[in-house]
Amino acid sequence: MSTLDNKSILVTGATGSFGQKFLNVVLKDHSPKKVIVFSRDELKQSEMAKHFQDDRIRWFLGDVRDPERLHRAFQGVDIVVHAAALKQVPTLEYNPFEAIKTNIIGAQHIINAAIDNGVEKVIALSTDKAVNPINLYGATKLCAEKLFVDGNAYAGSAKTRFSVVRYGNVLGSRGSVIPHFWERRKSGTLQVTDPRMTRFWITLLQGVRFVTNCLDLMKGGEIFVPKIPSMRTIDIAAAIAPECKVQITGIRPGEKLDEVLLTEDEARHAYEQKDLFVIYPEHPWWNHKNPESGTKLAEGFRYASDNNNSWLKPEEIRQILEQEGYLELDRIGKDLVPETK
């Protein structure tokens, strides 16, 4: 049996790209008792309801900023997947208080509601931007990671356990560069900030399956990092519109040349497994580590998008985009994701 079978699952931010793909996968590949869509967007929920016609789905309007609504929604819930966040870097630089209310205070509300309602497992989605952050979005996600890891100590003798998954950019998701490039190709010119820029990339389906796998593995307190390929932003442009000219615009405020998923300091308390790294807490309350944890990482190990041993070439990027349906005119940039293959 899967961890998700016969369980009541709640997904925050479930009307986003990840949430919709998560519903696709869980309803098809698992046997949950029910899945609660928790989000603040009534229009997206109504559109999703037309697409997902399954009597195991419940529709809850609410905001992670509202602790009372969370407490009500978490009643009888076994598993929470926390995907709600504000994540547009330039917008959050201009609206910093709003970022803190959702990404940090919202995380605190999730933790309290989960403990008070006896939720078994909470897994929160994080990002490579949380590692050595240079913008407000990354800083709020770093704070959220700390809150969820330390939430295990806060839970005390309660059964609730918290873990984090941390991965890179999601191919084709809402807000990614791919819809932007697809639209810009009509002009004959694509704007790339820097030809040296590299990023980690993962598909929506891979991200969802990584989360479901980590729900099986988690004991509480871990940060799970998948082994995923890197690609150059300029290669994404070549994959989507090889006929277009490339205009170099320069790095934007709050942007890095490369991203890091696991730092040298974290490597000292992290282990490598076949398809992932696991960063364990250094706190004295952590007591779940065992010989099956994996291989201890070498001193000074750093997992970054520029020193990765797995790279995608333009033709491979295009093949993935075609397989995922992101180069179809009626699909690009849309929230409703393809059905699981």
The residues assigned a catalytic role are 129
Contact 140, 100 (CB under 8 A): yes
| Strand-pair category, 8-12 with 79-82 | parallel
